[in-house]
A and B are shown apart, each in its own frame.
Chain A
Amino acid sequence: MKHEANTPLIRLAKRDAMSGGAIWAIRVGSIVLSLLIGCLVILITGNNPFKAYGVMIQGSLGGKVYLQQTIKIAIPLLGCALAIAPCFKMRFWNIGAEGQITAGALGATLIARLLDGKLPSLPLLLLMCLAAIVAGGIWGLIPAFFKAKWNSNETLFTLMMNYIIIGVVGWLQNGPWEARQGRMAQFSKDATLPKVLGIHCGWIIVLVLVLLMFFYMRYTKQGFEIAVIGDSKNTASYAGMKVGYVMMRTMFLSGAICGITGFIILSGANGTLASNIANGVGFTAITVAWLSQLNPFAMIVISMMLAILTKGADTLQTQMNVPASLSNIIIGLLLFCMLGCEFFINFKMIFRSRKTEKEVDAK
């Protein structure tokens, strides 16, 4: 019988604590690595990577208008990432932000259609926002209710809820609410968010939300309950927390913030409702939330980073004739490296050393 080697070539073992410095070195290293691999991809498209990166920076940050456009991309990403954070902290996989944004926008549109022209701008906007909160919240609450009651799978449930609401809006858009050629009417100026420093004031709303969410997660009873449930549902029950109730409450909150985000996109950027209003923000925001380790302040940085990449790639496309999907590739690489590096933070690899192998052979 052939004698086999005693251990496999590579074994994985869980690491003990790692120093904070080393952790951040790995994280920054992973970003650098993704940019380097990105260079290769750009080279394959026949361009100079350094020039390409330069164009991307220039096109996203190199001018007031460019910067404003970049920030406009970042606002809904940040808002939605904030909404997802408490769910993920609770290990409730809400991937229905897309639908909750759409539901919120639908709620706001309903108010705008009913009351635009009958109310002054400020109360109208406040009512629209409130309607968005309620509609988004309910859309988030439904899957949580089923999870709490019958332990249904929240991932599938929240995902499917997306298609329902997007379908509803699509029907309204091409049916009862159609203005012309499959589009709804633009809102009046009253129902549009005012601009501050050249950008719709949604950026102020999301920055306030950052502060509120940070405070909520860190200092409130509810935030504490969310954290405990995320770590151990049994411990939460043991400590007298009502797990099902907290799930529903948190998902209402999450849906509500998604609703606000939907309202911001609707009234700030688009000025009208369409079935593609969320436009993938609900999914990209998951990336933002994960990359920032659910820290609201880090989300500002990460959402800006993704916005820079998106805007930069648009510029790249117009200026260097590179396909826009390049930005998706680079974002994908970034994600892969940044999420992948967590593995090396948590595990170490043990290689089979030659010495032990020899010892075994000698036997």
Chain B
Amino acid sequence: MVRLEGQNAIELRNITKRFGSVVANDRICLSLKRGQILSLLGENGSGKTTLMNMLAGIYLPDEGEILADGKPITIRSPKDAFDHKIGMIHQHYKLVEVFTATQNIILGLKAKGGLNLAEANRKVQEICDRYGFEIDLKKKVYDMSVSEKQTVEIVKVLYRGADILILDEPTAVLTPQETDKLFAVMRNMKADGKALVIITHKLNEVMAISDEVAVLRKGKYIGTVKTAETSPQALTDMMVGHAVTLNIDRPQADELKKRLKIGNLTVKDKEGVKKLDDVSFEAFGGEILGVAGVAGSGQKELLEAIAGLQKLEHGSSILYIAPDGREQELYNLTPLDIIKKGILLSFVPEDRFGMGLVGGMNITDNIRLRTYRDGKLMLSDFAESKALAEKIVTDLEVVTPDINRTPLRRLSGGNVQKVLVGREISFNPTILMTAYAVRGLDINTSYAIYNLLTAQKMRGAAVIYVGEDLDVLLELCDRILVLCGGKVSGVVDAKNATKEEIGLLMTTVGGGKEATNEA
């Protein structure tokens, strides 16, 4: 069959996918063309991976149809996907550690007349040569770097004859040099007539590699634009969307008191990749310090590092200045140490059930996470948590069938978040850190949360607000710290800054140090 470049390889029509009451994909239409690289752009939780997983046979769409070469198909399993020549390279690699590259690549394929490793090696080598992959096929996976493992995954998919390749955030774990190499082979594959999709939220990469960009926001399809005809700013606007005109009160505190002095904070992940690179800043009681950045720029690690949940590299410093002026170095303290030192540090983490709350427990038990140590002798605290739970439910209008019975997992996202925020502000913190505090919440609940944070600021707490909505950051915060690739690319005054300014800082890799760092 002759396959023309630019012809639709796959077409998605009105694809909808729900998880319980959450609509992860809402009537999405998309087409993948041969000889073209399409970027699928969107914030975390916008439904990119869910959509592509339906092509890879991991999920089944609830509604809508998928067309391959113009004919409707059903993809029920990853095997179906391969039969339709669709291959997906997931974020988490699925390789057998003790096998070599070739063994992993041919794994699970039925060869005629038994296994001929030499023949397989030759075929794999052929693919590598054609597209320019550099890899030692006899190397065992446990000896490989992340980038080599990724190469094996891509070759594996090609070996199975995929014409349509989906790469889920392939550059998240790569160094800039490795990214360049990956892009080179992607261009080779494109020249060979393959249809490629790259899922990403890094705008500079979108601009560098893709021909077209499709943007999703909150599970909805926003549109597709030609890369050549757009700009990072325009894409940011599409990605973040123009929020309803906001009007958040921003009263000024009487005085600012230095509360935190972060110096040279560096955190590495398990792979040794720097998630935070030499981050230094100060936070003051009586102000809300916003933290902006594309997802995965180190926001999570920053807050967890301050909360004592990350291993810090040598030379990092987190200096806490108590309201009475005493100073306390938090470097390498555990959360328990921080509690025992009497530091009133509150933290609303990004993943509510993964950290911060216990989904299987009721509201009172979740409040008890903070109070259980106050009980007498061996006994867990009961009276305090019960009273506090009732107060939070009343004050924040939490809707729950039964405060002492219903597990938190059964409540709606907004109510869950109210319980978490309510608990964290209940003990009058001197530092309050929140990560994506309003993600998934409706506008009213969001405003309730903003008001709570502002009230804490006026009470004298140093509030650190990690957010994704630039409009909100600009309205709510006093100063905004912008992270880019784990580095501070700038600190701006929220009253004077513009969205464009911040957007630019968000995408300027490594640079931007010259930006104003006063305040």
Contacts and interface: CB of A to CB of B under 8 A. Distances in A.
Interface of A: 1, 3-8, 11, 14, 16-17, 219-225, 227-228, 231-232, 234-235, 237-242
B373 A221 contact: yes
Contact of B353 (A11, A222, A232): A232
B404 interface: no
Nearest to B71: A1
A216 to B, nearest CB: 8
A228 B358 contact: yes
A219 B410 CA distance: 24
A234 B372 contact: no
B357 A221 contact: no
B375 interface: yes
Given A8-B60, A8-B76, 11 more contacts: A4-B73, A16-B20, A222-B378, A225-B372, A228-B361, A228-B369, A234-B351, A235-B355, A240-B336, A240-B339, A242-B334
A154 to B, nearest CB: 21
B45 interface: no
B37 interface: no
B354 interface: yes
Most A CB within 10 A of own CB, among B20, B359, B369: B369
Most A CB within 10 A of own CB, among B71, B309, B378: B378
Given A219-B380, A220-B380, A231 B360 contact: yes
A220 B379 contact: yes
B81 interface: no
Interface residues of B, number: 39
B347 A232 contact: no
Most B CB within 10 A of own CB, among A6, A16, A228, A240: A240
Contacts of A7: 60
B359 A238 contact: no
Interface string B372-387: 1101001110100000
Contacts of B379: 219-221
A227 B336 contact: no
Given A14-B20, A221-B380, A238 B71 contact: no
Interface in B405-427: 406, 410
B370 interface: yes
A238 B370 contact: no
B9 to A, nearest CB: 16
Nearest to A228: B358
Most B CB within 10 A of own CB, among A8, A17, A225, A228: A228
The 9 A-B residue pairs with the shortest CB-CB distance in the complex, in nearest-first order: A240-B336, A234-B355, A240-B335, A239-B369, A231-B358, A4-B74, A224-B380, A220-B378, A221-B380
27 contacts: A1-B71, A1-B73, A8-B60, A8-B76, A14-B20, A17-B406, A17-B410, A221-B375, A222-B378, A224-B380, A227-B358, A227-B361, A231-B358, A231-B359, A231-B361, A235-B353, A235-B357, A238-B307, A238-B347, A238-B355, A238-B356, A239-B335, A240-B335, A240-B339, A240-B373, A241-B336, A242-B334
Contacts of B20: 14, 16
